[in-house]
Amino acid sequence: MKQSAFLLLLTLAISLGAIVNIGDEYIGSTPMGPFRKTLETYSYIGQDYDVVSRICYHYDVDDPVRLVKIVYTFDEPDGGHTETVYEYLEFDDYRQKIESIYVFDDQWNQYPDGYLLEIQTTYKYDLQDKLLERIMEYYRDSCSERTVYEYDDRGNLVQETTYVSLYSDTVPYQAITSGYDGQNRLIYNREIGIYETIETWQTWTNHSQPDSIYTLGEDWESIQRNFFDANEQVFHHEYCIKYWNGAPWDRLDTYYQYVTAHQIYFPTQTTTVFSRVYEDGSVEELSNEVDNYIYSDDYHRVTFGDYTYVYDDNWLLAERQRAYGNLVEETITYTWEQYATPNDDPVAVPQVMVSAYPNPARGMVNISLNKSSANAPTAARIYNLKGQLVRSLDISQMSSDQYLYNWDCKDQRNNAVPAGIYLIRIKTQSGEISKKVTVLK
């Protein structure tokens, strides 16, 4: 394997923990709030040609976060136009979402103005929003793909089976089996495909991310390790891979430095060391690279390498640029808008109003709600990721500018909750606000 391709593979496998991934569309420390993306505009300026493309997002009038259509157009000599249309169906014991992708084609007239239905995907959910089945129809290739999902009594996905019509409608093309520990953390995964079987084991201690991941393929194996600091952030990630042809281990070590601002962990430097480990234990360092993150505008603008990202006051991505030398070659701008449901107060609830400390937490979470942005809050309710109520909390005390709650990480029966991610929800006169918190053991 070429070194450049290997480095790309390893980079995709790296997990940053809770340190924000610069480039994500939202990097705030609280839930995103009532914002939705309406437009992406991409422009490329080259020596031979320029390209401008646009992606417009359209939403349901009665449900402001439900997409009904995405329109993609691009301006270049051949032009282009693609539409993705969404349909939603409700039944007594399940619901469906149908996603249809239409491509403009002068040779076809199966859709108004020459659009061809290229791919249609039907998603089936139960009433708890668990995905039960996905069917993809590829009309140009005259084939289909069907995936069935199965869950255990705790709501964990334990079986994912895919059938491809080109091979067989009854024999699985791919089957994935998963296992979990008593705290609903993934510990085992087995992927059986027609070409290869891959097995993965994960180990956990008291962190929100796995400590190690061991993967075994047909003729290769890999080991990943995460190392955490006192703030529960991954400061060192190690990835090793070896092929069973007598080759040594290839190893990639990534070290992260960060700074805390606005209750967000911002990366400041990434050091990557590529090395080779031989059977006798000796290590040969082959290369290393240091990437520095340069911030301005109170951390709302960051540049590293050839890329610059700009975030607005709500920590939503507003612009991404890629430079080639002194020339800005690519630019993507993002347009966002606040929304309100028909029953909401037209003034959107401010986004950053609730905080939880410490987060991740062991034993106690202190929750504070800003008085200036919340009117008449009710009890705070704690839910698990399955949507089940865990605990209700009354206001413990009030300061001059805050409502305060305390959660001892126990449920209604005074039993300690398992480690995992929980959702704090507080209703106010202006709407409901929420905050995620991670509980460790």
pLDDT tens sequence across 51-104: 889 999 999 988 888 899 999 987 765 556 889 999 999 998 899 999 999 887
Least confident stretch, 31-35, 279-283, 348-352 = 348-352
3-state secondary structure of 95: strand
Least confident stretch, 113-122, 303-312, 370-379 = 370-379
Question: Domain limits of the chain?
Answer: 3-338, 354-439
Q: What is the mean pLDDT of the chain?
A: 83
Find out whether 179 and 158 touch, Cβ atoms under 8 Å. Answer: yes
Q: What is the CATH number of domain 354-439?
A: 2.60.40.4070
Q: Give the integer Cα–Cα distance in Å for 196 and 190.
A: 11
Q: Please give the average per-residue pLDDT across 222-244, as a whole number.
A: 91
Query: Which stretches of 293-401 are assigned E, i.e. beta strand?
Result: 294-296, 301-304, 307-311, 317-324, 327-338, 354-357, 365-370, 380-384, 389-393, 397-398
Q: Give the integer Cα–Cα distance in Å for 264 and 30.
A: 9
User: What confidence score (pLDDT) does residue 10 get?
Assistant: 35
Structure-token match 């480690």, residue found: 419
User: What confidence score (pLDDT) does residue 406 get?
Assistant: 86
Q: Please give the average per-residue pLDDT across 317-331, as a whole number.
A: 90
pLDDT band for 106, please (50, 70, 90 cuts): low
User: What confidence score (pLDDT) does residue 372 get?
Assistant: 59
pLDDT tens sequence across 252-269: 999 999 999 888 889 999
User: What confidence score (pLDDT) does residue 324 get?
Assistant: 85
Least confident stretch, 51-60, 143-152, 339-348, 408-417 = 339-348
Q: Please give the average per-residue pLDDT across 235-239, as a whole number.
A: 95
Find out whether 207 and 237 touch, Cβ atoms under 8 Å. Answer: no
Find out whether 240 and 222 touch, Cβ atoms under 8 Å. Answer: yes
pLDDT band for 11, please (50, 70, 90 cuts): very low
User: What confidence score (pLDDT) does residue 368 get?
Assistant: 82
Least confident stretch, 3-17, 151-165, 344-358 = 3-17
Q: Give the integer Cα–Cα distance in Å for 207 and 185.
A: 11
Position with higher pLDDT, 156 vs 108? 156
For residue 262, the tally of other CB atoms under 10 A from its CB is 13
pLDDT at 296 over 70: yes
User: What confidence score (pLDDT) does residue 7 get?
Assistant: 35
Q: Give the integer Cα–Cα distance in Å for 162 and 175.
A: 6
% the chain with pLDDT above 90: 43
Listed in sequence order, the residues at least 6 apart from 436 whose beta carbon sits closer than 8 Å to its beta carbon are 31, 421, 422, 423, 424
% the chain with pLDDT above 70: 85
User: What confidence score (pLDDT) does residue 270 get?
Assistant: 95
pLDDT at 416 over 80: yes
CA angle (186, 187, 193) in 5-degree steps: 90
User: What confidence score (pLDDT) does residue 45 get?
Assistant: 84
pLDDT band for 216, please (50, 70, 90 cuts): very high
User: What confidence score (pLDDT) does residue 13 get?
Assistant: 34
User: What confidence score (pLDDT) does residue 308 get?
Assistant: 96
pLDDT at 284 over 50: yes
Task: Give the burial string for 366-405 (b: 16+ CB within 10 Å, else e).
Answer: ebbbeeeebeebeebbbebeeeeebbebebeeeeeebbeb
Structure-token match 């469906």, residue found: 96
pLDDT tens sequence across 150-197: 998 878 899 999 999 998 888 999 999 999 988 788 999 999 998 899
Find out whether 7 and 236 touch, Cβ atoms under 8 Å. Answer: no
pLDDT at 9 over 50: no
pLDDT band for 347, please (50, 70, 90 cuts): very low
pLDDT at 110 over 90: no
Q: Give the integer Cα–Cα distance in Å for 225 and 331.
A: 36
User: What confidence score (pLDDT) does residue 327 get?
Assistant: 84
Q: Which amino acid is at 309?
A: Y
pLDDT band for 431, please (50, 70, 90 cuts): low
User: What confidence score (pLDDT) does residue 5 get?
Assistant: 35
pLDDT at 122 over 90: yes
Q: Give the integer Cα–Cα distance in Å for 238 and 257.
A: 15
The number of C-alpha atoms within 13 Å of 396 and in the hemisphere containing its C-beta is 12
Best-predicted range by mean pLDDT (5-14, 284-293, 323-332, 359-368): 284-293
Position with higher pLDDT, 369 vs 187? 187
